[in-house]
Amino acid sequence: MQFKRSAIHLAQILVALAALVAAPARAQTRAHVSVAWGKVVRISKTTATLQVVVNPLLRRDSPIHNQVFEALRELNCDYVRFVPWLPYPKLGVAELAPPRAGKTSWNFSLIDPLTVDFLNATAAQGHSVVLNFSTIPEWMFETPKPAAFPSDPDRVDWDYEQGTELRDPTMKQVADYYARLVGWYANGGFTDEYGKWHASGYHYPIAYWEVLNEVDSEHQMSPEFYTRLYDAVVTAIHAVSPQTKFVGMALSAPSSEPDFFQYFLNPKNHLPHTPLDMISYHFYATPSAQEPIAAWPYTFFAQADGFLNVVHYIESIRKRLSPSTRTDIDELGSILPYDTAAHMVRPIPHFYWNLSGAMYAYLYARLTRLGIDVVGESQMVGYPTQYPSVSMVNWTTGRPNARYWVLKLLHDNFAPGDKLVETGYGTSAIYAQAFITRDAKRKVLLINKRNRPAVISLPGAAGAHEDYVNQETGSTGIGSANLVSDDVVLGGFEVTVVTLP
């Protein structure tokens, strides 16, 4: 959805410019962007995408179901990550009880509508997906007593996940479970533990399967344990879906887990011929509960810079041990400190969505320069009790917010094969990166990291076209305008792509 800059907005720009002239120097953000169009610093390998985490608001009886899946379809993203996960056992675990006396508990009646709607909006449209059924049935673990779960599938349950030791030390039981899941969606069905065929009729292409989620915290897996389990699952899935590739680790705290990378990325620690196609890990910026709201921008971007240092370190390990392995940073976002409370104890300020979107755009550009393959924003739908501040849509109306539109802006303008060229901008309050796209267009990504107007001098911008997401358009779409001078004015936390003539 495109919107032209309104006359009202143009008036606001003039007021902002006047305010910048009259304001003290400390209140002004002025920058000059210089671009060396002939100096290429990187050929992009990076795809911008997102993750979709299963929760009740994605179910077909949800009032926002249709809007959410239409928004997902319109993104046209590849490598979209789909994660049925632990708080909703009935929505993510297909075998909730162990087989016994010739009978099994396989049941996809609640899982299929969610998964099929996702696949129809992505894989069926020709886009690659990363499936991650992250929750192992709890009966496969040694526990003092069987793990209970709510009869209501929409009721959240943070206690379902238990245990650290598998009942089957060979890991075949877990591996076979995942092979059957893949068979259900890729091969039209599977044969259960007693030799009975269960037909699904589905034949979706599953490009990638991610083996579990945040294994450094979920079930507290060691690198050695997880690597053995990864090998077992990959071997079993390959037997039923040879074309599927794999993503490993999905670490929640990469900065504190160097041993995981050192061990998992060493091919010597895997069974022969086990593919190490891709690794994944996560980052969320989080302010402290005591921090004033005005400090959030500084915290978010400082933490983002700290994460980029971690990426540098991980890349040095990956290049040394397994240089052909690709990287999917498939959870990037921000989480407010009161996000998991039963009720929202503080309202989320309107500007937050633009701040979070601006940080994602910044990380996308910096990670592209580092050669990261996939940069995934987290997540499509959140809501009170389920991380509302990570949502890319309004959980009441289903309408996309600024985080969604920033992703779409990046996805529609930049892609693997683009050339990143040397770009200077001279202030920490903004970020700029120039691209020569695959169709030979010259584009400049501009990001305002502060909640105040910024005036950016960009030589050659007069007569250029800009597409942007700011606090005026954030809940409605992507704005557009034609520039009349070399000065580009950005609102607070605005993300803009300038296409030069």
User: Would you say the C-alpha torsion 453, 456, 462, 464 has a positive or negative sign?
Assistant: negative
Give the residue range(s) of CATH 3.20.20.80 domains in the chain: 47-415
Q: Residue for token digits 């580009």?
A: 488
Residue 6 has pLDDT above 50, yes or no: no
Rounded CA separation 293/450 (Å): 12
Mean residue pLDDT across the chain: 93
Q: What are phi and psi of 476, to 5 degrees?
A: -125, -30
Rounded CA separation 217/123 (Å): 30
Partner residues linked to 199 by β-bridges = 189
Give the residue range(s) of CATH 2.60.40.1180 domains in the chain: 2-43+420-499
CATH topology of domain 2-43+420-499: Immunoglobulin-like (2.60.40)
Rounded CA separation 251/275 (Å): 18
Give the model confidence (pLDDT) of 370-392 as tens digits. 999 999 999 999 998 889 999 99
pLDDT at 27: 58
Residue 11 has pLDDT above 80, yes or no: no
Find the DSSP H helices in 285-387. Answer: 296-321, 350-369
Looking at domain 47-415, its CATH superfamily turns out to be Glycosidases (3.20.20.80)
Confidence of residue 455 (pLDDT cuts 50, 70, 90): very high
Rounded CA separation 154/91 (Å): 8
Rounded CA separation 481/483 (Å): 6
Highest mean pLDDT among 22-31, 173-182, 468-477: 173-182
Rounded CA separation 214/220 (Å): 9
User: Would you say the C-alpha torsion 207, 208, 209, 214 has a positive or negative sign?
Assistant: negative
